[in-house]
Amino acid sequence: MATPPTTATDHTDKSVELADQLAHLLARIALKDQKALRKLYDTVGSRLNGIAMKILWDNDLSNDVLQETFLQIWHNAGEYRRDQSEPMTWMTSLLRYRALDKLRMEQREQRRRDQYEMVQDILGENVVASPIKGLLQGEVGSQLQRCLDVLDVANRNAILMAYYYGYSREDIAVHVAQPVNTIKSWLKRGLARLAQCLNP
Amino acid sequence: MSEPLRYQNPQLQDMLASNYVAGTLRGPARKRMEALMRANVTLARRVRQWESKMQPLHHNTQEVQPKAATWKAIENAINGVKDPVVASLMSRLNFYKYLSAFALTLTLALGFLLVKPGPAPAPTVAAATTINYVAVLNDNAEQPTMVVTLTQPNRQLTLDMLQKPQLQENQYLQLWAVSRTDGRVSSLGTLKVEKHIETSLTKEEWTLIADSEYLWVSVENQPNLPAPGANIIAKGLCVKVEGWKS
């Protein structure tokens, strides 16, 4: 029997189901249930590690950050509030901020300025393989995707390089051969327009 | 102390929140923002809103399977068990400690048997060398593959290959030190593919060892490159050890 095609509603139902499951696990972790932590790790560990890898580009460092994040979840699960953010958003944020701290601590930023080819791919000179193009073509939340699509390309790339790949303003400046102040104004303008678009 | 009134301005709050979430506030600026968020509930809420807005960007991020050791480290940290990496390193170091003691005993015994009887020589005391740094390098499957020990008096580096890597013609092994201070990767030279290697380091190379967090071994297509390529075949923490004798 042919499998019926997946609809947007199915996708949303699954997302809600997963969010409920993760929130339930976080509640159990707040009561110091180690089995719940293991279940959470099995469910989202690979996904969080993938997000850390995009920022750190180093398997050892991303695993360090994943470990630190799960210890933070273990100690602070009681602080999680479902009415303020979805479980995956809360955990991703814990992880991203730790990854950004690690990036600074390891002073990887300086080293990354040498990775010229990778950045050319990100910026889309090699358009077919550009990760940013992939981000925009994928099933990114439609409202965010629409709003990113209408931004000026330079502003949009600066936002994505900073948010998704953890580039500092100085790193972006080096790679696009523009003064840091130009990058600051791209980011300022881009984020302001994104805010307007997302909250009309 | 109350926060400046300007932080009540919704536009400023939104700008700070979006920059914080985008990751462009770094170092002291991030810390200041985090202090402000603790004091200003509205600002903290704006940050949560921005996090939610940007989260869809991660929907298609490729998953990367964590290392097997990562869960063990989490579990051990929660249960107050010693860090498994350190525990495993110490157990391997103990192995090498006993192995080197055995080797020394064997050498002395052989020496005793081979020396011709004659007038009793003046007693000599073998000056035991103090090991200063040790690194057990694991391969990509997290199996120990090389052990590096470093001793101060003559800045000697000893490398034992537990498994010799298979190299093609015109491929070279190169040793690297990854700085604890700035993350820089510096060459410690090309290695011969031999079970046991001993070499003396220069003062500059010793300084790199003293500052290193990790040692790496890579396979390169040319000798003595200034920076490693992508083929890192072994990595390990470089640990300073006190009072060890070989």
* Any domain includes A11: no
Higher per-residue confidence, B103 vs A47: A47
Q: Are residues A67 and A124 in the same domain?
A: no
Using an 8 Å CB-CB cutoff, list chain A residues near B83. none
Q: Which of residues 145-184 of A touch B (CB under 8 A)?
A: 145, 159-160, 162-164, 166, 168-169
What pLDDT was estimated at residue A126? 43
* Any domain includes A6: no
B70 near A CB under 8 A:
yes
* Any domain includes A2: no
- Mind listing the pLDDT tens digit for each residue in B157-190? 999 988 888 888 889 999 999 888 777 889 999 9
Measure in Å the smallest separation between the Cα of B1 and chain A Cα atoms. Answer: 25
> What is the rounded CA–CA span in Å between residue B182 and residue A116?
20
- What is the three-class DSSP state of A111? helix
Q: What is the CATH number of the domain that holds A166?
A: 1.10.10.10
CB contact under 8 A, A46 and B66: yes
Q: Are residues A167 and A122 in the same domain?
A: yes
Q: What is the CA radius of gyration of chain A?
A: 19
Encoded tokens for B97 = 């400690």
Q: Are residues A115 and A196 in the same domain?
A: yes
Minimum Cα–Cα distance from B179: chain A residue: A106
**Cβ atoms within 10 A of the Cβ of A111, count?**
15
CB contact under 8 A, A140 and B59: yes
A39 near B CB under 8 A:
no
Which phi and psi angles does B216 have, rounded to 5°? -125, 150
Q: Which residues contact B70 (CB under 8 A, 6 or more apart)?
A: A45, A63, A66, A67
Residue ending a domain, choose from A71, A106, A141: A106
Which phi and psi angles does A167 have, rounded to 5°? -75, 135
| pLDDT < 70: residue spans in chain A | 1-12, 106-141, 200
Give the nearest partner residue to A54 out of B26, B61, B183, using CB atoms: B61
Q: Are residues A36 and A100 in the same domain?
A: yes
What pLDDT was estimated at residue A16? 86
> What is the rounded CA–CA span in Å between residue A180 and residue A139?
32
Q: Which residues contact B33 (CB under 8 A, 6 or more apart)?
A: B16, B20, B25
Instruction: Give the mutation candidate from B46, B47, B59 for the A interface (greatest A CB count, under 10 A).
Output: B59
Residue ending a domain, choose from A106, A125, A145: A106
* Any domain includes A194: yes
Average of per-residue pLDDT across B107-119: 53
**Cβ atoms within 10 A of the Cβ of B9, count?**
12
Higher per-residue confidence, A67 vs B119: A67
- Mind listing the pLDDT tens digit for each residue in B17-72? 999 999 998 888 888 999 999 989 999 999 999 999 999 889 888 899 999 999 99
Structural domain of residue A21, as residue ranges? 16-106
Mean pLDDT, chain B, whole residue set: 80
* Any domain includes A21: yes
Count CA atoms within 13 Å of residue A130 on its CB side.
17
Using an 8 Å CB-CB cutoff, list chain B residues near A70. 74
Residue ending a domain, choose from A84, A106, A128: A106
Contact B196, B98 (CB under 8 A): no
What pLDDT was estimated at residue A1? 46
Q: How many domains does chain A have?
A: 2
Encoded tokens for A137 = 């073509």
What pLDDT was estimated at residue A59? 87
What pLDDT was estimated at residue B26? 83
- What is the three-class DSSP state of B173? strand
- Mind listing the pLDDT tens digit for each residue in A81-138? 999 999 999 999 999 999 998 887 765 555 554 555 555 555 554 434 444 555 555 5
Is pLDDT of B126 > 50? no
Which of B165, B161, B171, B168 lies closest to B220, judged by CA?
Answer: B171
* Any domain includes A68: yes
Q: Which domains does chain B have, with CATH numbers?
A: 9-58 (no CATH), 127-245 (2.60.40)
CB contact under 8 A, A135 and B57: yes
Q: Are residues A133 and A198 in the same domain?
A: yes
What pLDDT was estimated at residue A115? 54
What pLDDT was estimated at residue A82? 92
Which of A6, A138, A41, A14 lies closest to B60, judged by CA?
Answer: A138
Q: Are residues A123 and A99 in the same domain?
A: no
Q: Are residues A102 and A113 in the same domain?
A: no
Kindly indicate the confidence band of residue B108, based on its pLDDT and cuts at 50, 70 and 90.
low
> What is the rounded CA–CA span in Å between residue A47 and residue A85?
18
What pLDDT was estimated at residue B116? 47
What pLDDT was estimated at residue B139? 85
Q: Residue B117 burial by CB count (10 A; 0-12/13-18/19+): exposed, middle or buried?
A: exposed
Q: Are residues A129 and A95 in the same domain?
A: no
Give the nearest partner residue to B57 out of A71, A140, A187, using CB atoms: A140
Contact B61, A47 (CB under 8 A): yes
Measure in Å the smallest separation between the Cα of A195 and chain B Cα atoms. Answer: 8
Sign of CA dihedral B35, B39, B40, B46: positive
Residue linked to tokens 């995956």: A88
Q: Are residues A47 and A80 in the same domain?
A: yes
B48 near A CB under 8 A:
yes
Contact A25, A43 (CB under 8 A): yes
Using an 8 Å CB-CB cutoff, list chain B residues near A77. none
What pLDDT was estimated at residue B219? 92
Q: Are residues A69 and A28 in the same domain?
A: yes
Q: Are residues A26 and A85 in the same domain?
A: yes
Measure in Å the smallest separation between the Cα of A4 and chain B Cα atoms. Answer: 22
Q: Are residues A159 and A186 in the same domain?
A: yes
* Any domain includes A8: no
Q: What is the CATH number of the domain that holds A48?
A: 1.10.1740.10
* Any domain includes A4: no
Distances (CA, A) of B33 to A1, A55, B3: 56, 21, 12
